[in-house]
Amino acid sequence: MSGEEPEVEDPEMEAPEPDAPVDEDEAVERAQLFGVWDVSDIEYSDPSTKRYITVTPVAHTMGRHASKQFKKSEISIVERLVNRLMQTDENTGKKQMAMRIVRDAFDVVHERTEENPVQVLVRAVENSGPREETVRLKYGGISVPKAVDVSPQRRVDQALGFIAKGTYSASHKTTTTAAEALAQQLIGAANYNLQTYAISQKEELERVAAAAR
């Protein structure tokens, strides 16, 4: 039997600190869209639509906001663009394919502009939303056009619709790929090119509204 006394742990010795809990919101902020694009420093030039253009690193929320009325503005603007691209006969229900189109288009945008493609998308949406449009009022059975202001949320909706429709028309039954067509629409709208479908539609709506004032 050994005469050595067993070692006693010093109670004053510091125990190893447990791992700090990971803040989910902070982890999301550090994440990158498609694992590539940083969304933490996006700039907005139009304060009226800023609250309706949400930018997050999540491009697929799996219908998290589907049951909430009037919550579409909380969805990432990138996912909303993906959803608009799905609203055609060929792409209905094919979200993975629509996401691949957007991802490839972002690569093309970055190659041509050397800018963050998410920033280009935000600028394109801000430029493509019409500020004025017309409604029809009836006076004694006569339909009269009347110019009205467009709400910021509707401006964002219409801008996404114009970009998606321009992408479809430029790539349908042509040799231009959908990703290439989308990149052209984003770059053109961001630069306010009047030849771009989204910008031309906005200008047309505002021109008709100006005549109906």
pLDDT at 66: 62
Task: Answer yes or no: is pLDDT of 22 > 50.
Answer: no
Amino acid making up residue 204:
E
Can you read off the two tokens belonging to residue 59?
Answer: 């491009």
Mean local confidence (pLDDT), 108-113: 94
pLDDT at 141: 82
Task: Answer yes or no: is pLDDT of 21 > 60.
Answer: no
Mean pLDDT, the chain, rounded, equals: 83
Task: Answer yes or no: is pLDDT of 44 > 50.
Answer: yes
Mean local confidence (pLDDT), 196-206: 94
Whether the predicted model's global pTM rises above the 0.85 cut: no
The percent of residues in the chain predicted with pLDDT above 90, rounded, is 49
**What residue ranges define each of the domains in the chain, with the CATH number in brackets?**
33-62+71-131+151-195 (1.10.455.10)
Task: Answer yes or no: is pLDDT of 46 > 70.
Answer: yes
Spatial CB neighbours of 132, under 8 Å, sequence gap ≥ 6: 147, 148, 149, 150, 205, 206, 209, 210
Question: Which pLDDT band holds residue 186 (cuts at 50, 70, 90)?
Answer: very high
Task: Answer yes or no: is pLDDT of 34 > 80.
Answer: yes
pLDDT at 40: 86
How far apart are alpha carbons 180 and 139 in whole angstroms?
47
Task: Answer yes or no: is pLDDT of 38 > 50.
Answer: yes
More confident residue, 59 or 40: 40
